[in-house]
Structure 1
Amino acid sequence: MPRRILDGQPGWLDNSRTRKSRMTYGGGRTVSLGRWTSFAWTSMVLFVAAAALPIAAEAQQAPAGPPRPITPPTANQFSRQPAPPQPPFAPQSAEIQQFLDRVLLAWEDRSSKIKTYRATFQRFEYDSIFGPKDTYKTYSEGVIQYATPDKGMFRVDSSQKFTPAAKPGEKPSYVDQGESARQHWICDGTAVIEMNYSKKEMIRRELPAEMQGQSIADGPLPFLFGAKADKIKSRYWVRLVTPEGVTNEFHIEAWPKTQEDAANFKFAVVILDRQEFLPSGLVVYDVNFRPGQNHSRTSFRFDKREVNSNDLLSRLNLFHREFFEPALPSGWKKIDDKYGAPPAEQQRVAGPAYGPQRQ
């Protein structure tokens, strides 16, 4: 269980509150970024959206809804739409921009040396529609794993859901959701395999030939694996938003430039460990996120990070077995599908779909 289970926000990050931010340079000198308020955030986003970002404007006007899942790119998404003409925030000084460029290049250099990666994670999901107003709806723990260039594994081992107090005077609690809430995805380079515990289905979606063997960094969030400075800057407007007083991390905010990425999330904040230059946290804001109105977002904290490990698991090849297709559990059904195709019953009515269907 997280330490601050009912006080509204994991203590290691809160990008939705009023705060003062600054950049800390190598010699200890700082550049103030000013005080942020919810009003300023909302005004800035609305102004730029109205002037230059039709997609962002549509997201602001859309009815509020539950957080949208981040989905892998479909084959037609590799031809991305042109970027809108300007970023959704005021430009930072040339000095800060140069410092950001150095941070991104150092991150790229560190990422280029990663052959295998494994970490445990804590996930906090906030839902303004179906969850509590002042804290997260679900808390989960799991493991994420990667091997260059195209193998990945994401597994949620346990999940707890916010449950309101049953009687006046009692406290709300988080209730374990059991095995049906587990999540497990594997990419072996040729297919994406989903273990659907609630339906007891193993779904194997074969990737089209043009997507097989491609780097996972070409996916919707190239922040965790194989980060390249030029690729990040071509797909996102980025700026430094490190909070004042934080000296062991760099906080990088990224806003999508393309319609494909903007359909997945409004913006994200990557938290880089200053010593390791590896992400220690990631916050993905829902497309309907509005400071003070809609707090829907998903926060990750990454712990026990292992890079190019030579431990017993690696020597026994157990690490790489995580990327193999699992044995079909007793009583489960296996479904072979094509990546991006809708279920058969939907094909008769809805026509082609864009991306895999979430069960």
Structure 2
Amino acid sequence: MMRSTAVMLTFCLLTQAQLAPKAPGQPQGGQAAPTRQAAAPAAPFTLSPTEQSEMDQLLLAWEKQSVGTKQLEAKFRRWHFDLLAAPAGVHATWAEGMVKYSAPDKGLFQVSQLKFFSGIVDGKPTYKSHEGQFGEHWVCNGQELLEFDHARKECRIQQLPPDLQGKEILESPLPFVFNLNAEKIKQRYWIRRIDAPAGVYVLEAHPKRQADRAQYRFVRIVINDQSFLPQALILYGPNFDPVNSPGYDHYEFTDVERNSIRQGLANWGRVFIAQRPPADWKVIRETYRPIEPGPQVAQPNGEKTLR
């Protein structure tokens, strides 16, 4: 299944030069293996000067709304579509869970229920839980990144170097849910507004960096046009093709709260700090090592930005 939240908190959703678990096959606790740099991608679309100006204004308005976010929490449902696991138009898995964020560097992403497609009964798809299979669960407490593997009863704990502690949780596949920085978003994504019903904005973002493109081809985020709080997010797989490989994750968010008085700062701190593996679990400790930024990617206007 695709990593959302790399699922690192669909949210403290951090990846690569961010605070995410190492990708499969990457050496642990040592130097990263040499890799060939992929060719710089072409821009998937070009905005007119008017469209770019409108996009800039929208991002700045969103940034103004989100800059005061100290805490954010939401429940979510996720539908995963995969032709190898379910018929076309039928989701292969269904999940629900929660996401929490505390500025600038704490987050939690946890799937509490996960069900799998089990066949068609009376013309309708049915779903069942599978014994021993669990959804994602990870926590960033500001000093460590903890990834819980409930099936194996293992917890991978990556110690964050001092120079990375206290940094914003922005470097992720889904940075839009936290304190949005308009300039950083434009450096990292080609982004445009697409048609949407009244009351919401729908933005489509295509990653410029190879590390991001390896996880998803593009993402669509639906936000309220007044509060700019997230309502839905669709993450399309790296090989997405609407006909041959229509794999994607569709998130819908409910009970979204920003700076909730009910939670309180003290309680929020305990949510993240208290998350530790049970005594009988295997604990794997590592030091987090960020991946160096890739080469520059050319922009349609001739400017360059780091991948």
Q: Secondary structure at the match of 2:228?
A: coil
Asked if structure 1 preserves the Cα contact closer than 8 Å seen for 2:90 and 2:125, the reply is no
Question: For the Cα contact (< 8 Å) 2:85–2:117, is it kept in 1?
Answer: no
Inter-CA distance 105–82: structure 2 relative to 1 (3 Å threshold): farther
Specify the code of the residue in structure 2 equivalent to 1:334: V
Partner of 1:348: none
Which amino acid in structure 2 is aligned with residue 198 of structure 1? A
Q: Give the Å deviation of 1:170.
A: 6.0
Runs of 4+ in 1 over 6 A off after TM superposition: none
Counterpart residue number, 2:76: 121
Q: What's the CA shift string for 1:172-202, capped at 9, x where partnerless?
A: 3011346741431100112111221111122
Cα drift, residue 93 of structure 1:
3.5
Q: Secondary structure at the match of 2:62?
A: helix
Verify the 8 A CA contact 2:103 2:168 in the aligned structure 1: yes
Render the CA deviation track for 1:314-353: whole Å, top value 9, x for unaligned. Answer: 26x3222121142433532333223359xxxxxxxxxx9x
2:302 counterpart residue number:
none
1:191-202 equivalence runs, <5 A: 191-202=144-155
1:298 to 218, 228, 249: 249
> Conserved in 1, the CA contact under 8 Å of 2:102 and 2:268?
no
- Written as runs of structure 1 = structure 2, the 5 A alignment for 1:195-344 is 195-243=148-196, 246-311=197-262, 313-314=263-264, 317-329=266-278, 331-339=280-288
What amino acid does structure 1 have at the position aligned with 2:174? L
Cα distance in 1 between the residues matched to 2:88 and 2:41: 35
Which 10-residue stretch deviates more, 329-338 or 190-199?
329-338
In 1: Cα distance, 2:59 partner to 2:178 partner: 13
**In the alignment, does 2:51 pair up with 1:96?**
yes
- The answer (yes or no) to whether the contact 1:139–1:161 under 8 Å persists in 2 is yes
In terms of fraction of residues, the more helix-rich structure is: 1
CA-atom RMSD in angstroms = 2.7
**Residues 1:131 and 1:247: Cα distance change in structure 2 (over 3 Å):** same
Q: Unaligned regions of 5+ residues in structure 1, if any?
A: 1-65, 342-351, 353-359
Relative distance call for 1:67 and 1:146 in structure 2 (3 A) is: closer
Q: Is the 8 A contact 1:285 1:296 kept in 2?
A: yes
Q: 1:170 to 1:248 in 2, by over 3 A?
A: closer
Instruction: Report the Cα distance in structure 2 between the residues aligned to 1:82 and 1:114, rounded to whole angstroms.
Output: 36
For the 8 Å contact 1:75–1:211, the answer to whether it is kept is no
| Unaligned stretches of 5+ residues in structure 2 | 8-13, 20-36, 292-307
The Cα offsets for residues 127-167 of structure 1, whole Å up to 9 and x where unpaired, read as: 1333332211111111100011111100111111111137x
CA displacement, residues 285-336 of structure 1 (integer Å, 9 cap, x when unaligned)? 111001122111111111111111111x326x32221211424335323332
Q: Does 1:87 align with 2:43?
A: yes
Structure with the bigger percentage of strand: 2
SS at match of 2:253: strand
1:269 CA displacement: 0.6
Task: Report the identity percentage.
Answer: 33
Query: 2:268 is aligned with what amino acid?
Result: F
Q: Does the Cα contact within 8 Å between 1:285 and 1:297 map onto a contact in 2? A: yes
How many Å apart are 1:97 and its aligned residue? Answer: 2.6
| Cα pair distance change 1:82/1:164, threshold 3 Å | closer
TM-score (norm 2): 0.78
Structure with higher Rg: it is: 1
